[in-house]
Amino acid sequence: MIILSVESSCDETSVAITKDGKEVLSNIVLSQIDIHKVFGGVVPEVASRQHVEHMTQVFSEAILKANITIEEIDFVAVTQGPGLIGALLVGINAAVAFAYSHDKPIMGVNHLFGHIYASQIENEMKFPAVALLVSGGHTELLYIKDHYQIEQLGSTLDDAVGEAYDKVARSLGLPYPGGPVVDKLAHTGKDTYKLPRPYLNKEEFNFSFSGLKSAVINLVHNAEQRNEKIDVANMCASFQESVTDVLVDKTKRCAAKYNVKQIIVAGGVAANKGLREKLAEQIKDIEIIIPSIKYCTDQAAMIGIAAYYQNKIEPAKKDYFIKGDSTLDINQS
Ligand code: KG4
Ligand code: ZN
């Protein structure tokens, strides 16, 4: 089964060809980071225009690199949401046009399911599992009973963890995206600032990162007013310690409560070295799978892998009215 998949929910224009829900024949990712960096974050209108400019070229490269003919493609899959609505619509329109003109079935895929299924590329998912999904837009703990049987156990009540990383980085004068920079600096600093561990002692599996983010911003602001210097590396280390304490502790408790066979960590923040180290240190009795960094951040291969399993439940159709949805949540799919 060969799937052509498209991802354009944020600032990566990506098309992939995947085989049998496992093999990645090609995964072309055109990142717009350098363009958005100037603005300190993703500008939705700029993102949509960049997708329009590059989508056709990314399609051609993905097919060429996979060394397949268009006839061999069984169906097309495209990220439906959540994401930036204008950006999503570019990918959806391109995917629909391709599917329609080549008479292929098509399906819309939830971006978050894509992040979870990125784990299947280099590992085998085992059920029941708990997934910690941490990205720029989401922070979720999910119970996965079986393929495509996913239930939300907890979520962030305010900022997503990646968003908190990006805003903390910005307040420290670090470039966008802040996550990788803070992660790197954290390894050169020490946990010296006394930052809160939000929701750590609460029984529930929800998260809250806006108070922690504000604590850093306030410390930076107060230091500026007093003409004092913030130790950036130590602040990064303190923030990262606080975030990873909360994420790891909740994941550990959640996995124990639901007696799972596996913990899946997914999304852009799953690239975080501090998080990976702490998970390995603190959870030794349950298998943890985390995609390699190139499959943690946004790309179309993950959409193709999710689509393979989605197709077993609800096959792709020659119905060309895929709707973009910026709020499509995990329980609605
Ligand atoms: O999954 P993703 O590529 O896009 C969304 O769907 O949001 O995640 C992007 C987020 C950004 O907030 C970025 O700062 C964060 O993932 N990120 C990291 C790291 N690498 C990327 N956060 C912490 N540590 C990292 N190493
Ligand atoms: Zn994402």
Query: What does the domain layout of the chain look like in residue ranges?
Result: 2-117+296-332, 125-290
For the chain, strand residue ranges (E) read 2-7, 12-19, 23-31, 75-81, 106-110, 129-134, 139-146, 149-155, 262-266, 287-289
Chain position carrying tokens 């990064």: 236
Longest dimension (CA), the chain: 67
Q: What is the DSSP secondary-structure string of 59-83?
A: HHHHHHHHT--GGG--EEEEEEESS
CA neighbor of 147 nearest in space, from 307, 299, 8:
307
Q: How far apart are CA 89 and CA 148, in angstroms?
A: 24
Residue 74 marked in a binding site: no
Protein residue with least CA distance to atom 10, ligand 1: 136
CA of 267 to the centre of ligand 1 (A): 7
Residue 115 marked in a binding site: yes
In this prediction, residue 87 carries a pLDDT of 96
CA of 213 to the centre of ligand 1 (A): 16
Protein residue with least CA distance to atom 5, ligand 1: 136
Residue 147 marked in a binding site: no
ipTM passes above 0.90: yes
Residue 54 marked in a binding site: no
Task: State which CATH number among 3.10.20.740, 3.30.420.40, 3.20.20.80, 1.20.1260.10 fits the domain covering 2-117+296-332.
Answer: 3.30.420.40
> Ligand nearest 11 Cα, by number?
1
| Low pLDDT (below 50) residues in the chain | 333
CA of 135 to the centre of ligand 2 (A): 6
Residue 254, H or E segment: helix 232-257
Protein residue with least CA distance to atom 13, ligand 1: 179
Residue 146, Cβ neighbours under 10 Å: how many?
A: 11
Contacts of 325 (CB under 8 A, 6+ apart): 80, 81, 82, 88
CA of 7 to the centre of ligand 2 (A): 9
- Answer left, alpha or beta for residue 118, where phi above 0 means left and psi between -120 and 50 means alpha: alpha
Residue 174 marked in a binding site: no
- Answer left, alpha or beta for residue 115, where phi above 0 means left and psi between -120 and 50 means alpha: alpha
CATH level 3 topology of 125-290: Nucleotidyltransferase; domain 5 (3.30.420)
CA of 268 to the centre of ligand 2 (A): 6
In ligand 1, which atom is closest to the CA atom of 184?
Answer: 26
Same CATH fold assignment for domains 2-117+296-332 and 125-290: yes
CA of 180 to the centre of ligand 1 (A): 7
Q: Which residues line ligand 1 (CB under 6 A)?
A: 10, 135-137, 162, 165-166, 177-180, 183, 267-269, 271-272, 297-298
Residue 86 marked in a binding site: no
In this prediction, residue 333 carries a pLDDT of 45
> Ligand nearest 270 Cα, by number?
1
